[in-house]
Amino acid sequence: MTSSDDFLELCAGQYRAQISLFGGGLWSLTFAGKPLVVTPPLPHQGLSQVSPVPFAAGCLLAPWPNRVDGGHFTFQGETYQLEINEPARHNAIHGFVRERPWQLDPETSDNPAAVRLTLEMEPQPGWPWGLKYVMNWSLDATQGLRGELRVSNLSAAPCPFGFGWHPYLSAGGASLDECTLSISVGNNLVLDSTRNLPTGLEQPADTVLGQARPVALHSLWLDHAFRAQPETDGRVRAALCRADGLGTELSAGPWCRWLQIYSADPAHQQAFPGVRDGRALAVEPMTCPPNALNRNQDLLVLASGESRSFTFGLRALNAARS
């Protein structure tokens, strides 16, 4: 591992990754010099002064992913109010850890292909539970990037919890309009058009994605939550590829119950910075759907002292090895 003020750099075979100490997430990943994720331009002041990371690119989302309606929720008879950090929609979004500096575990500082980061968070306004996070990132020359987040409840009381990851996939830098998305999902959880919160309705995924698989992304705009459908090995996968088969595959463990799929798009006043046409696709594995703290849908509860782990990763796809 090598380091700079902004990144910890990992390498294995033809893979290269940059991990950010600010937020503990993935900043960049390449294979044979080609990008597997879309990365916004690095601000001149560096990542440590940027809060939050633009478009939550590569961020870890905890202790909840996605949105909380009005920032308030009730758990075990007590009502809590979180900070509203999505003011245009009056929501609390994506938790705390993406906006905190993480600590490097010195025991991994000499490993060129792996790093361990830690974050111990005291209770926050609207969140009276202390949590410890341990994030292991590693690269393998044949398997690509692997992440494992371990969270422990340091509080004396049970703690609600949700987790997600927010990478923007890239097929070697190809325009999104030239790519397809291979994904197996169940119903789409219908979100309202103004605040992106669940309406309580579900509809078949084909209503949003069409019937063809893989899904052609040309001019397609998405900001939708889907039930994840794991493959026979229990893992959830999604692959973004260009026409010649080059691309990237995301995978997540059985903990992944939901996928939020979002396309940054200038036609919707949300152009991804530094991308020629402004379009980029996030495929976000999540333990729970939007507003789970209020809907109590697939919400995890950590007992005092309990720990949970979540594994996920990315690898390169090509015509010779897919």
- What lies within 8 Å, CB to CB, of 321 at 6+ separation is none
Higher-confidence residue: 322 or 256? 256
pLDDT at 21 over 60: yes
Domain residue extents for the chain: 2-317
Average pLDDT over residues 134-159: 98
Q: What's the pLDDT at 243?
A: 93
| DSSP-based three-state secondary structure for 69 | strand
Out of 6-10, 306-310, 315-319, which region has the weakest mean confidence (pLDDT)? 315-319
| CB under 8 A, 24+ apart: contacts of 293-296 | 293/64, 293/68, 293/73, 293/75, 293/160, 293/162, 294/68, 294/69, 294/72, 294/73, 294/74, 295/198
Report d(CA 165, CA 62) in Å as an integer. Answer: 9
pLDDT at 319 over 60: no
The model's confidence at residue 49, banded by pLDDT at 50, 70 and 90, is low
pLDDT tens digits for 78-97? 999 999 999 999 999 999 99
CATH number of 2-317: 2.70.98.10
pLDDT at 321 over 60: no
pLDDT at 47 over 90: no
Report d(CA 182, CA 3) in Å as an integer. Answer: 35
Q: What's the pLDDT at 50?
A: 62
Share of the chain above pLDDT 90, in %: 90
Q: What's the pLDDT at 42?
A: 84
The model's confidence at residue 157, banded by pLDDT at 50, 70 and 90, is very high
Out of 97-111, 142-156, 250-264, 287-301, which region has the weakest mean confidence (pLDDT)? 97-111
pLDDT at 286 over 70: yes
pLDDT at 232 over 70: yes
pLDDT at 120 over 90: yes
CA–CA–CA angle 269, 35, 233 (5° rounding) = 100
- What lies within 8 Å, CB to CB, of 305 at 6+ separation is 152, 153, 154
pLDDT tens digits for 261-282? 999 999 999 999 999 999 999 9
Which residues lie across from 203 on neighbouring strands? 188
Q: Where are the alpha helices (DSSP H) in the chain?
A: 206-209, 292-295
pLDDT at 3 over 70: no
Q: 161 near 133, Cβ under 8 Å? A: no
Q: What value does the mean pLDDT of the chain take?
A: 94
Report d(CA 249, CA 322) in Å as an integer. Answer: 9
Average pLDDT over residues 141-168: 98
